[in-house]
């Protein structure tokens, strides 16, 4: 029986405008895709998502890599929006007695970001890789969630828009779903025995 649904954050409960980065690169005459190529390269990404460096330091190092600190600073304040439909689903799950949580590969500013978007009050718990020191898809990140929720793997449903991030949850025999939209998620929840009103 599913007792908790755990969501990834980015691409699931909140979204970024891809044009924002493209506009920064165009404005500063940087190659298209250069900012993300620098920001999401290893081992830099692993360091920030494991809490080994701060978001501010991450942005600074991205600036060094692309040779443009101003462009990196502008990227570092990338605006995001909450997905109201998904948050309503979280509300409905909670109303039906199922706990909801977030497990994100985030930075040290996640708490502030979620508060500003008023996402933090729409889930029962937030698990941030930068705080726990372990990022998805490491099995230990998912075990941390299970321990904190005091639940067994078969009692937890996890969804992420990145298929590769599901591996750790699958290894623990959690029910998983590759998120591509709310309709697919609703169908997967029904298959798992979870039915919520729209």
pLDDT tens digits, 135-177? 999 999 999 999 999 999 999 999 999 999 999 999 999 999 9
Could you give the CA distance from residue 161 to residue 41 in angstroms, rounded to a whole number?
Answer: 19
Work out how many domains the chain is built from and give that number.
Answer: 2
- Whole-structure pTM value: 0.95
Structural tokens at position 159: 């969804």
Alpha carbon 1 to its chain's center: 25
Tell me the per-residue pLDDT of 100-145, one tens digit each, with 9 for 90 and over: 999 999 999 999 999 999 999 999 999 999 999 999 999 999 999 9
- Domain check: are 106 and 119 in the same one? yes
Report the percentage of the chain scoring pLDDT > 70.
Answer: 99
- Domain check: are 70 and 160 in the same one? no
Could you give the CA distance from residue 8 to residue 51 in angstroms, rounded to a whole number?
Answer: 18
Position 196 confidence tier, pLDDT thresholds 50, 70, 90: confident
Structural tokens at position 95: 């109303």
The CATH number given to whatever domain includes residue 107 is 3.40.50.1000
Residue 130 lies in a domain: yes
Residue 149 lies in a domain: yes
Residue 196 lies in a domain: no
- Domain check: are 137 and 46 in the same one? no
Report the percentage of the chain scoring pLDDT > 90.
Answer: 97
61: containing domain: 18-76
Position 198 confidence tier, pLDDT thresholds 50, 70, 90: low
Q: Is there a contact between 44 and 140 (Cβ–Cβ < 8 Å)?
A: no
Q: Which residue in the block uniquely carries the two structure tokens 């698990």?
A: 127
- Domain check: are 89 and 173 in the same one? yes
């Amino acid at each position: 029986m599913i007792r908790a649904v755990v969501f990834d954050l980015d691409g699931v409960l909140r979204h970024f405008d891809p044009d924002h980065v493209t506009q920064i690169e165009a404005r500063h005459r940087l190659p298209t895709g250069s900012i993300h190529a620098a920001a999401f390269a290893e081992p830099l990404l692993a360091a920030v998502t494991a809490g080994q460096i701060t978001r501010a330091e991450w942005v600074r190092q991205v600036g060094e890599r692309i040779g443009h600190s101003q462009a990196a600073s502008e990227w570092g304040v990338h605006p995001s929006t909450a997905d109201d439909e998904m948050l309503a689903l979280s509300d409905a799950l909670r109303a039906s007695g199922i706990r909801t949580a977030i497990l994100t590969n985030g930075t040290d500013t996640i708490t502030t970001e979620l508060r500003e978007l008023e996402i933090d009050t729409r889930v029962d718990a937030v698990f941030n890789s930068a705080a726990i020191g372990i990022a998805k898809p490491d099995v230990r990140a998912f075990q941390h969630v299970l321990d904190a929720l005091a639940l067994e793997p078969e009692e937890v449903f996890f969804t992420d828009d990145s298929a590769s991030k599901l591996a750790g949850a699958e290894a623990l025999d959690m029910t998983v779903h590759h998120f591509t939209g709310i309709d697919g998620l609703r169908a997967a929840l029904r298959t798992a025995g979870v039915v919520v009103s729209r």
